[in-house]
Amino acid sequence: MVKVDLDHVYKKYDNASDYSVTDFNLHINDHEFIVFVGPSGCGKSTTLRMIAGLEEISKGTLKIGGKVMNDVAPKDRQIAMVFQNYALYPHMSVYDNMAFGLKLRHYSKEDIDKKVKNAAEVLGLAHLLDRKPAALSGGQRQRVALGRAIVRDAPIFLMDEPLSNLDAKLRVSMRAEIAKLHQDLKTTTIYVTHDQTEAMTLADRIVVLKDGKIQQVGSPLEVYNKP
């Protein structure tokens, strides 16, 4: 149901002389798990941000569920995004951090309460709803960031290096949680990482980027199991 189509998408920042993303052409299937890999500066975040509507597309077409989205506001894109730095509000409780996006969208109090408590249950945060982010561990903070995405019921998850601030052990367990969320919630997920193991274990297809261009698209086996 929710495909994401990038048709010959280009991005040139206003102050830049060159394109940061060139002829990005990719058709993502419903419920697919796509991972973007490539060196720093190759255009991973820019592409994710164009899909989210946080950056304008210079040329080309973005379609979500078959509809052209180029000029649709971020809040109307049915997308939930999770960032590397969690992007939690430090002065708000865990509950309010998760409720915030729903309040903005004028959900009812009862609806918000149900969604937040349900997400907290799923993520093992039910006993931490009154805490402030400063009183949480790194893994708990990242769970809150995931909770903010879950409560939105968005069919598309965008994740920009969500685990790179965590220690190695926690990365492995959170990786499994993300895989499970993708399965349980049936989302279409686009995930940026530097970590080859993450890419191999999570991806249906890996997109290898270099200098703003797609170099290769394939299954983990095709991309990493070179002869």
Indicate the residue among 173 and 188 with the shorter CB distance to ligand ADP: 188
Residue 113 or 172: which CB sits closer to ligand ADP? Answer: 113
Distance, CA of 10 to CA of 23 (rounded, Å): 5
> What residue is closest to ligand ADP based on CB?
101
Beta-strand ranges (E) seen in 102-212 are 156-160, 188-192, 205-210
Q: Does 116 bind ligand ADP (CB under 6 A)?
A: no
**Cβ atoms within 10 A of the Cβ of 111, count?**
12
Residue 223 — φ and ψ, nearest 5°? -80, -40
Report the residue number, 146 or 173, with the smaller CB distance to ligand ADP: 146
* Residue from 22, 46, 84, 142 binding ligand ADP (CB under 6 A): 46
Task: Show the site string, 60-79: x = touches ligand ADP by CB under 6 A, - = not.
Answer: ---------------x----
Q: What is the torsional sign of CA 151, 156, 157, 160?
A: negative
Contact in structure between 36 and 47 (CB atoms under 8 Å): yes
Minimum Å distance from CB 148 to ligand ADP? Answer: 5
Number of residues that bind ligand ADP (CB under 6 A): 19
Q: Which residues pair with 57 in a beta bridge?
A: none
Reading the block at residue 119, the tokens are 């997400």
Stretch 117-156 residues interacting with ligand ADP (CB under 6 A):
148, 152
Q: Are 174 and 123 in contact (CB under 8 A)?
A: no
Q: Please, what is the minimum distance in Å from the beta carbon of residue 157 to ligand ADP?
A: 11
Nearer to ligand ADP, 134 or 169 (CB): 134
Applying CB under 6 A, among 1, 73, 104, 168 the residue interacting with ligand ADP is 104
What is the footprint of ligand ADP within residues 11-30 (CB under 6 A)?
Answer: 13, 15-16, 20
Shortest Å distance, C-beta 138 to ligand ADP = 16
Task: Name 126's Cβ contacts closer than 8 Å, sequence gap at least 6.
Answer: 117, 120
Q: Using CA atoms, how far apart are residues 179 and 21, in angstroms rounded to an integer? A: 28
Is 103 an interacting residue with respect to ligand ADP (CB under 6 A)? Answer: no
Cross-sheet strand order for the sheet of 213-218: 79-83, 156-160, 188-192, 33-37, 205-210, 213-218
Return the residue of 29, 41, 76, 194 that touches ligand ADP, per CB under 6 A: 41
For 35, counting Cβ atoms within 10 Å of its Cβ (0-12 exposed, 13-18 middle, 19+ buried), the class is buried
From 10-18, 112-120, 124-132, 173-181, span contacting ligand ADP (CB under 6 A): 10-18
> Bridge-partner residues for 67, per DSSP?
64
List interacting residues with ligand ADP (CB under 6 A). Answer: 13, 15-16, 20, 38, 40-46, 75, 87, 100-101, 104, 148, 152
